[in-house]
Structure 1
Amino acid sequence: MPAITSFIDDRAVARSDVQRWEAGRAKAVLRKFVSRLGTRAIAEIAPDLNIDTVLAADLDTQRAALVTLKTGLGHAGIYAMLRRDLATSEKVSRVAVAASRGRVARSVIRVIAPGCSASAFADWFNNLVVVNDEVNMIDAMPDHYLLRGLPDGRQEVVETTGGSPAPTRFLVDYTTTDTLSTPADPDYPIQIAGQALLDDGFVIGGVRHQLRDRDGALEALLTVEFPGLTPAPLVAAHRWHLAVEFGNWIIASQSQTDR
């Protein structure tokens, strides 16, 4: 397993600190499933899953339980469970974009993973959407409720971003970067970038993740763009979200390419 270090505000953050933040989010999402579904529905999806036991268990056990619940509920079940949250968050996103008048807030971190290849990771990551590997997409972060590749090549995302009180749904188009305000850094030759939009094409943000090989390590400069009026605590919290998901994706890519 690579010794991954994340840098938030240029301060090195240990993998153990990132996992501690992930564990807090895992418990919060598990409790959301209990409150929204009830114990009878959870027992139908996962008869052997005891929520109290899982809440007291290690992070790997909690990750596995969340994947079981999300995949067992299915896309329609996720939509139904979160329907009010998604309707509200879409309205909020539209208002925030309009009120921001083109201004952007950025959530930015760096990640360094010794012994990993930037190109190999980028190929693995891009292939998640191509082959629609939903398990690896949702397993990377407790707040990922639904991530899947669509037939038109875009990615559908239902997640709680940063410190938001509710999940949101959007699409990521990795073929279009015209709306991004973050320029490509020529020192990072590998770009994973695209705009985030709603079903009618309304752009609400975007991502520019930039990768390179440096001194025998994968170095990633990860950026998410939010509307400028997005509350600062939410933008700041999303840096931990990035650290969790990309750390877990890097580990997953290594374990699968080393087979």
Structure 2
Amino acid sequence: MLISLALTGGGEETDMAETIEIQAIVGARRVTREQVRAWESRRANAVLNKMTARLGPRALAELLPDRPIETLSAAPLETRRKALTDLKTRLGHAGIYAMLKRELAFSERTARTAVAVSRGRTQHSVTRLSAPGRSAERFAAWFTNLVVVDDEPPMVDSCPDHYLQRGLPDGRHEVVETTGGSPMPSRFVIDYTRTEALTIPVDPRYPIQIAGQALLDDGLTIGGVRHQFRDNEGTLEALLTVQFPAALPARLIREHRWHLAVEFSNWLLASV
């Protein structure tokens, strides 16, 4: 089924046709694809504004010579998505670290404090997606392979708040992103060989899982993921869950549900 989407709340229209109709439940609320795209649209403009302010017009002209930055905020979402991925890719890992160094340092201190104050208590951000015509096993293999072969563009492209996503030589997954409703980005690595600190329950109805702990460089566990998948009469069903320290603000947890809806919807669309 081909659908043509007009965004609500994003102030734009797009003629981009999506080849599957993804349905989402954010928390306990069923939301439309248009609402998910509108959330992505707002975050795309927020990240474009941040990078414009940090880099300045000369650097932006070097990095995006064919796309004047002042025209991007009103461009279709797909155009902004590609521009952001190109901008981050051309800036490179070192450029991302340099641009965000103060925020990453502050976020790390905040994460350490949240873990200490939480004393082992956690809270979970949960989103459910369904995607007809997709296979749970094939999608999980496709996603895992992104990390294994370090295929960075699809990882970054899936959400405006992804600044850096890459597979490390030791098999772990490095992430620099703005998490949910956080005011600033953070950096961590996900170790998919470790799950002992996860408090996210295993749902036996979902036989395929992608799970791992989120760590700082010294090994401190600050959270984790357990993404669970199953097939139901030709439709992939995903139960997506991220674990956070309980001391973090509830708004961050609520907003990260939308982050999950955006990134996994875009990954599902890309995993043809």
What residue in structure 2 maps to residue 257 of structure 1? Answer: none
Give the counterpart of 1:145 among 154, 163, 186.
163
Report the secondary structure of 2:182's partner residue.
coil
The percentage of aligned residue pairs carrying the same residue is: 63
Matched residues in 2 for 1:231 and 1:147: separation? 25
TM-score normalised to structure 2 length = 0.92
Matched residues in 2 for 1:235 and 1:9: separation? 10
Matched residues in 1 for 2:29 and 2:112: separation? 33
What residue in structure 2 maps to residue 253 of structure 1? Answer: 271
Q: Residue 82 in 1 paired to residue 95 in 2?
A: no
Tell me how large the CA RMSD over aligned residues is: 0.7
- Any residues of structure 2 matched to 1:91-240 within 5 Å, and which? 91-240=109-258
Matched residues in 1 for 2:198 and 2:185: separation? 22
Contiguous gaps of at least 5 residues in structure 2: 1-18
- CA-CA distance at 1:65 after TM superposition: 0.6
TM-score normalised to structure 1 length = 0.97
Q: Residue 44 in 1 paired to residue 62 in 2?
A: yes
Report the secondary structure of 2:159's partner residue.
coil
- CA-CA distance at 1:9 after TM superposition: 3.0
C-alpha deviations, 1:83-113, integer Å up to 9, x for none? Answer: 0000000000000000000000110011000
Matched residues in 2 for 1:35 and 1:53: separation? 15
Q: Which stretch shows the higher mean deviation, 124-133 or 3-12?
A: 3-12
Distance 1:215 1:10, change over 3 A: farther
- Structure showing the higher helix proportion among its residues: 1
Matched residues in 1 for 2:45 and 2:63: separation? 18
What residue in structure 2 maps to residue 18 of structure 1? Answer: 36
Matched residues in 1 for 2:77 and 2:128: separation? 23
- CA-CA distance at 1:11 after TM superposition: 2.3
- Any residues of structure 2 matched to 1:30-69 within 5 Å, and which? 30-69=48-87
Q: Residue 8 in 1 paired to residue 26 in 2?
A: yes
- CA-CA distance at 1:184 after TM superposition: 1.2
- Which amino acid in structure 2 is aligned with residue 138 of structure 1? V
- CA-CA distance at 1:140 after TM superposition: 0.1
Q: Residue 27 in 1 paired to residue 10 in 2?
A: no
- CA-CA distance at 1:10 after TM superposition: 2.9
Matched residues in 1 for 2:130 and 2:82: separation? 26
Runs of 4+ residues over 2 Å off in structure 1: none
Matched residues in 2 for 1:174 and 1:60: separation? 31
Matched residues in 2 for 1:36 and 1:220: separation? 36
Matched residues in 2 for 1:186 and 1:57: separation? 43
- Which amino acid in structure 1 is aligned with residue 185 of structure 2? P
